[in-house]
Chain A
Amino acid sequence: MSTTYVVRDSMTMLRRNLRHLSRYPSLALMLLAVPIVFLLMFVYVFGGTLGAGLPVDGGGTRADYLTYLVPGIWIMTVASVANGTAVSVAIDRTGGMFARFRTMDIARVSVLTGHVLGAVTRTLLALSVMIVFALLLGFRSDAGFVGWLGAAGLVLLLAFSFTWLTVAMGLAAGSIETASNTPLVLMVLPFVSSGFVPTEQMPAGLRHFAEHQPFTPIIETLRALTAGTPVGHEGWIAVGWCTVIGVTGYLWARRQFARVPVR
């Protein structure tokens, strides 16, 4: 299979994927609804109280909490879109499309490449919406161009890594239902991280977990980058986690893809 066909078939698969998005914008909006609802709820319902508890001189305000919360919400947006990816992969698997593609003489990688590129595109679109939304609510940033560039790079890396992981979950799931449930762990973990409240305020055991699970360094890094403050060693840990999750997801997906269902 020549490289031209790999590229051509991948583009065909990507087009198919994006067409699904344009055909079902409501599905994409549902995935966006999750981070939007959490952002509104945490800022306007809990934000006053949570802001007061932030380690700011004299206690913070609702506006301080918004600034604190937004990076975590962006990360959650990536996770929410990835959740949808698992479902669309499972639909192809159980619906026989993967089997059909496998009887055709096409570049085999293109099938998954289409899903991955489609998912990353969806993530970037969703993030653009969430950035505008945060700005509308009053989020302001002191970060310069380099900070935002770094933030974009981190988020893109995370998008690829979560996508490969959820592609694998979608392939491994026996049913569409399972495929939509397994990735929920990615939606729950941010709550037990520094995303919503600083870890210092958690009980010892929980705090230990929160500080050592992947979301905390990733969120801390994004927070520092978008606030224009120094990133420190958390940055390397964040990149490390993304790489580990992405490579694991990729290898797992490749293995699962070889086990295509035959109905």
Chain B
Amino acid sequence: MSSTPRWLYVVLLAVGVFAPVLLPQIASQLAFLWIMVVFALAWDIMGGRMGYNSFGNILFFGIGCYALAVFQRDLNWGGYWVALPIGLVFAGILASLAAVFFGVGMLGLREKYFAVGTLGLGVAAGEIAASWDYIGAGGGLSTTLMPVAGNANVYWAYIAFATAVVTFFALKRLYVGRIGLALGAIRDDEDKAEAMGLPTTRVKTLAWAVSAFPLGVAGGIVGNMQGFIDPRDIAFAGPTYGTWMILMAILGGRGTLWGPVLGAFVFQITKELFWVYLAEWQRIALGVLIVAIVVFFPRGILGWARERWPQRFGVRVVETPA
């Protein structure tokens, strides 16, 4: 990957910092924009870099939703502002632990079996949550409200922005490490990687745990921001959030650093415009968009661009003198 132009960072930083105060009326959409970025980045670790299409990453998001809410309800150490960051980290850790736990069974599956297996995991989690009284069962769970006067969504937009930034740079750092190569090896030929003695099980489990963490944090944020967690429509919302995370990564270009970010922006903005201008028809339009993405952009916007201008993406196409 070639180095990213500096102006891109500057523009994104400006959006993250100024947009919530300048446009407080859309603060909630802004918060969701950054959450979408987190969704796509996290999914891409497995789906893009490692070639494992997880349809059940919503599991980690849902765990995060409940983890923070229950932490605030039952412990609430140090009051709201202390408990919030601790609770968000707790949500991430719990999600990662779940990834390690379920990884033992799921990561032995390959390709479509993994996809279907993880899909089942997400659905099952929703059903379990809907029948578990401790977390409100099917009636849902109300979350602690942020003790601020005025528009809490402005604060959430910043918290979501910070989460996206940390996720982005953590992954950027991760991918230049050896694990980046290990993920690529598993994606290209897992049997070969095994035959070379690569600790594939460990790499896969780590990758899933790493992708679960930001999803857990995102779950905590969204559950709190909504003020209410419905087990099927928010926490384990496979048909919406769960599907979107996959689409955004594919749309932007899976396996690239900026692809998921770009995909999240394009998707979230398009979706919001549909909601505003296509009353009644938004869901159908969204469905059409989803089909169009999969049919016309199987490799995503950046994947397509990289094919056209490989040098710009740091791919050396000419031979180097020995």
Partners in one complex: no
> Which of B's residues lie within 8 Å of A, judged by CB?
none
> Which of A's residues lie within 8 Å of B, judged by CB?
none
